[in-house]
Chains A and B, each alone.
Chain A
């Protein structure tokens, strides 16, 4: 049966068909749906792990014990998981181990545009790269086979366009999931110097053998066309090439590390002009040139952003298609109507504080009119950076705070907090506890008390965690109670110790609603104080300031800031 499937769902389906037993992940766009989908299968154990490092360690353990395991994350998540990754490359596997990593060319929803293939080369882990949903499923299955055959973890790299596009997939049955027998094998799995030295040699031989064998892999294939132009490509870029250059010869690489150099040399020789088309880093190009094969690449293609058929036509053929976009106001993403983070940033903006931020919906606190953010780097960085502010500036503790979400705090904020207490930092941390992992679309985490399958489990108490690491001043406030929140922040700022304020209120999207009864009455003096909240439900249009009843969640924050009592409605 053929079905229209999202690339991520196809990866999940492939893993299921391959008999995967264990799936672990930390949510991250555009990889989240892989594990969400796997959680729907009763015959697969799945989990949201606290972070990608733990997720990969769970996968490694399952693999050593003999199960097929898949671990999913976004590109920056792989940074967090690099420590286990680099050594899992040495230990190899027992049950197949596949790491699905989603890159984000054009940075649709990330903090950078890094290229996972480069990380894979450093870790000496082979990489398969599908170009649509059908391949996403097939390559995932193949990845398990290769993992076991070559005794290595395999990275399945997708990009946003493959992960979040839907195309047709032929569904198959699941092979029987067998957990292989396990025997202790110290020289294989205990990576201490004497064993690691030996294993490094094995890894280098493995890479060499895979490179040689891949010359005859079916997923590395030549599609013969005209001899004037030959394109070497992989993944989503292959589709743009087929669209833009239907007559060119194409070498489509299904495995982008290690490379089939004999096949590449043969292909390059067969065409007059040979070009490597790849998004982001010149990964293929550099390796191919290092092997002494002459190709073009980044001399004509950009290093940044995703490609398209038009871009290929323009770079290869010099064809320019002029289109003129209208010069109109931008529409940047904003905090949703009723978002519990809005009150926090309203107060921080009012107090003109330095805000060291973190990764999540609340990164949007940087956007006008709230505009309260000084730096955002990576998951969990807010707390460490605030410690840095404190250590660099004796006055910083009077005017700076860390802001971090509940899920992000568990991911990698707790260690920062331990550092703060241990090294006597004077910082104030706001944990924005919206009871979910918001930006990625509402995944459970340890403090929601629910597993990935919505089963009840131990609910991590954030206040207790903070106290346990030695924070004496911990309190919880409702961020929509602006005066209480402002008083709390003022009270904690400038102290000679660590303070934590938990701003707790569920994500507005978690509660279903129809219409709001809120409206702006004739008492309105048009002072525009409510517009400073940056709430998308408060509209400043032709008819003056009004409330969009289809967006308003009746959170009442606007009533809080209106001095004239001009906003009518009952807070829900």
Chain B
């Protein structure tokens, strides 16, 4: 299974990919993850590849080849939508983060994005705030992803909780639960 995780630098795409990687490994699969660090992480558009299977060669996913996209921001979901296979699906946060050309007035944030996306939207930001902190949005999305992909909930949650700081565990558990229930 080839999963693309996209978002805005700093939103936690790396954490999400590591949770998926750990889950796949715990279930005896081969897995490859590919990430972008450095300049691209500074609030820019970022993507992380997660490939899970019996034997994986390339760590990257080509355009038109992703089974699933997990998007932490709506515009980013649209930006990478062409990476999906014909029957692929996007799970996206409905959060809007204005890119700098929109902030400066050089461009407009596109309207009607959701109609163009084949998949499910989750108001991850609202649910994260309900769980206690906007930063828990990625746990909300992982909860939703877990249900969408039919993963073993207990094992997947365990992989998540093993990847985050001890003191945020309760909040992230709540966020995961809210995301799981949202789809």
In the bound complex, what is the Cα–Cα distance between A326 and B75 (angstroms)?
10
Known: A165-B33, A329-B110, A331-B44. A132 touches B59 (CB 8 A): yes
- Chain A positions 351-410 with a Cβ under 8 Å from a chain B Cβ: 361, 363-364, 367-369
Counting CB contacts under 8 A, is A538 at the interface? yes
**Binary interface profile of A, 116-157, with partner B (CB < 8 Å = 1, else 0)?**
000000000000000010000000000000000000000000
Q: With the chains together, A364 CA to B99 CA distance in Å?
A: 14
A239–B21 touching, CB < 8 Å: no
Separation of A367 and B99 alpha carbons in the complex (Å)? 12
> From residue A25, how far is it (CB to closest CB) to chain B in Å?
15
B99 → chain A closest CB, angstroms:
4
- Contact among A2, A239, A330 with B59 in the assembled complex (CB-CB below 8 Å): A239
* A242-B106 contact in complex given A109-B39, A168-B25, C-beta closer than 8 Å: no
Contact B41 A333 (CB under 8 A): yes
Residues of B within 8 A of A97 (CB): none
Which B residues from 54 to 74 make CB contacts under 8 A with A? 56-60, 62-65
Q: Mark B82-113 against chain A: 1 for CB-CB distance below 8 A, else 0.
A: 11000000000000111111111111111000
- Residues of B within 8 Å of A236, CB to CB, are 59
Evaluate contact between A326 and B78: CB separation under 8 angstroms: yes
Contacts of A109 in B (CB 8 A): 36-40
Query: Could you tell me if B34 and A161 are in contact, using CB atoms closer than 8 angstroms?
Result: yes
Known: A4-B21, A109-B40, A336-B43. A331 touches B100 (CB 8 A): yes
A308 is an interface residue with CB less than 8 A from chain B: yes
Are A4 and B100 neighbours in the complex by a CB distance under 8 Å?
A: no
- Tell me if A211 counts as interface (CB < 8 A to partner B): no
Whether A239 contacts B57 by the Cβ 8 Å rule is yes
- Does residue A531 face the partner (Cβ distance < 8 Å to B)? yes
Q: Which residues of A contact B18 (CB under 8 A)?
A: 166
B101 touches A329 (CB 8 A): yes
- Residues of chain B contacted by A326 (CB below 8 angstroms): 78-79, 81-82, 110, 116
- Residues A164 and B100 in contact, CB atoms below 8 Å apart: no
Name the interface residues of B9-30: CB closer than 8 Å to any CB of A.
Answer: 9-10, 18, 21-22, 25, 30
Which residue of chain B has the shortest Cβ distance to A363 in the bound complex?
B39
Q: Is the CB of B101 within 8 A of A330?
A: yes
Are B100 and A536 touching (Cβ within 8 A)? yes
A164:B133 contact, CB within 8 angstroms: no
B133 engages A321 (CB within 8 Å) = no
Complex-state Cα separation, A167 to B109, whole angstroms: 37
Q: Do A167 and B32 contact each other (CB < 8 Å), given the known contacts A239-B57, A541-B109?
A: yes
Pair B102/A540 contact, Cβ less than 8 Å: yes
Bound form: Cα–Cα A301–B140 in Å: 43
- Which residues between 152 and 188 of chain A lie within 8 Å of chain B, taking CB atoms? 160-161, 164-168
Q: What's the Cα separation between A534 and B101 when bound, in Å?
A: 10
B114 to chain A, nearest CB (A): 13
B76 at the interface (CB under 8 A from A): yes
- Give the tally of cross-chain contacts (CB within 8 A): 182
Decide yes or no: A4 and B33 within 8 Å by CB, A326-B116, A369-B104, A439-B39 being known contacts: yes
Contacts of B120 in A (CB 8 A): none
Residue ID in chain A nearest B30 by CB atoms: A168
Nearest CB in chain A to that of B102: its residue? A329
Interface centre among A132, A166, A514 (most CB of B within 10 A): A166
| Complex CA distance for A335 and B42, rounded to whole angstroms | 7
Min C-beta distance of A557 to chain B, whole Å: 15
**Within residues 269 to 302 of chain A, which ones have a CB less than 8 A from any CB in chain B?**
none
Decide: B44 and A334 in contact? CB cutoff 8 A: yes
CB-CB contacts below 8 Å: A75-119 with B:
108-109
Q: Is the CB of A333 within 8 A of B39?
A: yes
Q: Are A331 and B82 within 8 A (Cβ)?
A: no
**Cβ contacts under 8 Å, A538 to chain B:** 103
- Smallest CB separation, A342 vs chain B (Å): 12
- Within the assembled complex, what's the spacing in Å between the Cα atoms of A311 and B83? 14
Closest residue of chain A to B73 (Cβ to Cβ) is A331
CB distance from A144 to the nearest CB of B (A): 26
Contact (Cβ within 8 A) B96 A309:
no
Which one, A160, A242, A331, A363, contacts B8 given CB within 8 A? A331
Q: 1/0 contact trace for A228-266 toward B, CB 8 Å?
A: 000000001001101100000000000000000000000
A541 with B100: CB separation less than 8 A: no
Q: Verify if A441 is at the interface (C-beta below 8 Å from B).
A: yes
Bound: A528/B133 CA distance, A? 29
11 A-B contact pairs sorted by A residue (CB < 8 Å): A108-B37, A109-B37, A161-B59, A166-B33, A323-B64, A323-B82, A328-B75, A335-B42, A439-B38, A515-B134, A528-B105
- Contacts A333-B43, A548-B97 aside, 4 further interface pairs with beta carbons under 8 A come to A167-B59, A168-B31, A240-B57, A331-B99
Q: Report which A residues bind B (CB closer than 8 A).
A: 2, 4, 6, 29-30, 108-109, 132, 160-161, 164-168, 236, 239-240, 242-243, 308-310, 321, 323-326, 328-336, 361, 363-364, 367-369, 439-441, 514-515, 528, 531, 534, 536, 538-541, 548-550
